[in-house]
Structure 1
């Protein structure tokens, strides 16, 4: 069931809520520059296993409103808090991919993990992400040929073969974002270090990361594991940045086991 939730005056986020009223709740936070639909192969499976599954599109992405402002980790974490409060979410598993993992980390630090009993970091972009060189290259392409940028990101996303129809679908997810929000997040990922936030996480944390990741190097997962006290690191041997699809059976098994 899809709905819109107001997170500040004039800004509504799109929220997909599957299997409400069932068992344990898993909240998925997508990566840049995508939206909640990247988790299609989780939404197809996990509700059938008895989980309530929620996907949230960030401001500026997917079906959410696309204001010109608010693209910093504090505001994005506050957006998430507003959804938690209005939907009265408690005792949930928060699962964030890539930049969505970074948003989840800031949420845990800024809001003391409000409503969250467990955390899943999926190829999380933390403590750092884009280098200045990568960010400047992305910003330059985004300003004149954003579809080409999204295609380039897709080219580096997967270790395993993806069919051309799948790739075109994946690119279409990124093109649902606004150009200004796409650029704003590049700058944010370039300029932010979340090392201090990692140390504030105080719930059991599952870290899943592809060893062939060309977007967020596996070394980032190792640093997260070192900085988060109650963490477990699971390397995905046959995945790049898209482990939620590339090794989806193992991914779904692990997240269901951890959430349950």
Structure 2
């Protein structure tokens, strides 16, 4: 079932809602949409969970407003979906850009209705380097990506997709994955890239008290596994599982292993 949830005046988000049982809310990465979790949906639903996949603003079938791509507003969007669907005792799962948005939700909304947190190759606590944060990429690299998007977005998405995987996927798969990025608005893609460049989520970490599972591909070239190593140290109740022989796209490359670990976390 699909819902269109009004998160603020004249802004509606598309939410995929499949199955029954404890809700697991998935926040996708940049610059795709909830369909990236295709290979998690069936296993979760078969095991008695309710898959909630949010297309964040600017992506997939959601509205494309001119503003609201900062983490605070995206966290508020998640709250609006939780209230509209009356979700309780939910698990919040964030992949890549969805990771810091999930952490911001936990801090900004005091873990409202969330009992566990699942972080998948999170772009957290921040994506770019600063004088006092040595992990991630230089801000200038994001600026270069934004320029590439402005010049030739389809070509950039192809190049980004190639960097996404450690194991070479099939050509049809690469084409399918590329279409997810093309479904996004260019405006939303650029504004979210600016948020990735500028946002700092380090102050969000102390607010997280629920159990946290971190899953991260060991060969990730987009979000280094050092992010999750740091988060495991700084979050109160976190465990990191490193996924071998896989990159940023580890949820595709090792989907059986990943789904097994997710289900183990949900059931414990």
Matches within 5 A, 1:86-97: 86-97=84-95
Give the SS at the match of 1:145. Answer: helix
Give the SS at the match of 1:53. Answer: strand
Matches within 5 A, 1:200-215: 200-215=207-222
TM-score, normalising length: structure 1:
0.97
CA distance in 2, matches of 1:188, 1:23: 34
CA distance in 1, matches of 2:42, 2:53: 13
**Structure 1 alignment gaps of length 5 or more:** none
CA distance in 1, matches of 2:37, 2:28: 8
CA distance in 1, matches of 2:160, 2:209: 33
User: Structure 1 residue 65 and structure 2 residue 63: aligned?
Assistant: yes
Match of 2:5 in 1: 5
Give the SS at the match of 2:67. Answer: coil
Aligned residues: 258
User: Structure 1 residue 247 and structure 2 residue 254: aligned?
Assistant: yes
CA distance in 2, matches of 1:50, 1:244: 20
CA distance in 1, matches of 2:43, 2:74: 28
Offset of residue 133 of structure 1: 2.1
Offset of residue 23 of structure 1: 2.1
Match of 1:173 in 2: 180
Is the 1:24–1:259 Cα contact (8 Å) retained in structure 2?
Answer: no
2:167 is aligned, of 143, 147, 160, to: 160
> After superposition, what is the alpha-carbon deviation per residue over 1:66-112, rounded to whole angstroms, capped at 9, x for unaligned?
01111111000000000001111110111100001111010001001
2:41 is aligned, of 43, 50, 55, to: 43
Deviation above 6 Å: which 4+ runs of structure 1?
none
CA distance in 2, matches of 1:217, 1:133: 17
TM-score, normalising length: structure 2:
0.95
Match of 2:127 in 1: 129
Match of 1:192 in 2: 199
User: Structure 1 residue 55 and structure 2 residue 62: aligned?
Assistant: no
Matches within 5 A, 1:133-144: 133-144=140-151
Match of 1:16 in 2: 16
**Structure 2 alignment gaps of length 5 or more:** 129-137
Match of 2:135 in 1: none
